[in-house]
Structures are given as C-alpha cells and as structure tokens.
Amino acid sequence: MILMFYMSFIMILISCILMIISFIISKKSLLDREKCSAFECGFDPKCLARIPFSLHFFLITMIFLIFDVEIALIFPIVPIFMMVNFLIWYKISFFFICILLIGLYHEWNQNMLNWSN
C-alpha cells in the first residue's frame, strides 16, 4: 500500500515538474496582436469572422434530433410483439407513444414548429 502511495506521488511530482518546465520554456505571448486576431491569410479581416445564426433554426434542429432518437426507439417495438405478453407490450407501447404525443403537443403549443415568427 505504501509503495502505491510513493509511486503515485512520484508520478504526480514528475508531471507537475514537466508542466512547469513547459510553461517556462514556451514563448507564447498572450498580448500578441497577430495571434489574437482572426486568421485570414495574414491579412486583416474585412468583415466579422462570426456569422450570426438564427436561434429558431437551432431549436428546430434540436427538436428534430430528439424526435429522430425517439423514432429509433420505436422501431424495436414491432419485432418484440411476438416475444412478450400482449398486455405488457400494449401498456409499454401506449405509454411511450403518449409521452411522444405530449411532447409534440407541448412544442406545438409553444409555437416551436412554426418556421415564420
């Protein structure tokens, strides 16, 4: 046990020493104007590098991904029909589809599915 403690202490000590040495040796300047500017073939940029995007488009994308995963979870419901009890299969399938429909109704109620504002 004591040997494991010494080994871990030596490993931590060596890694700290290497990090300190690399920090001292590096010549990176945080205040260099050229390194802080956007890279555009060495020239000053003519316009903003960041293009604003629509938050509504991002939310539609997230909704699509969520429903896409839910569709992938629905696919195994059909082949498992013959392997389990019908009543259990029906209850689980009905519960899962109800949760999906409640989520869809909530998104529709919040006007998240409209492309125009």
Mean pLDDT, to the nearest integer, of 33-51?
62
Which of 25, 22, 43, 26 has the alpha carbon at shortest distance from 34? 43
Which one is predicted more confidently, 66 or 39?
66
How far lies 42's CA from each of 29, 32, 46, 66, 69, in Å?
Answer: 18, 14, 12, 42, 44
Whether 94 has a pLDDT exceeding 70, the answer reads yes
Whether 99 has a pLDDT exceeding 70, the answer reads yes
**Predicted pLDDT of residue 77:** 85
H-assigned helices in 1-117: 2-25, 33-36, 55-74, 86-109
Residues whose CB is less than 8 angstroms from the CB of residue 56 and which lie 6 or more positions away in sequence, other chains included: 115, 117
**Predicted pLDDT of residue 44:** 59
Name the token pair of 25.
């040796």
Opening angle at CA 63, ends 57 and 66, nearest 5: 145
Task: For residues 90 and 74, give the distance between their C-alpha atoms in angstroms, rounded to a whole number.
Answer: 13
Please tell me the pTM assigned to this model. Answer: 0.47
Which one is predicted more confidently, 44 or 87?
87
**Predicted pLDDT of residue 45:** 58
Q: Which of 18-22, 37-41, 47-51, 80-84 has the lowest mean pLDDT?
A: 37-41
Cβ–Cβ < 8 Å for 63, 112: yes
Whether 73 has a pLDDT exceeding 90, the answer reads no
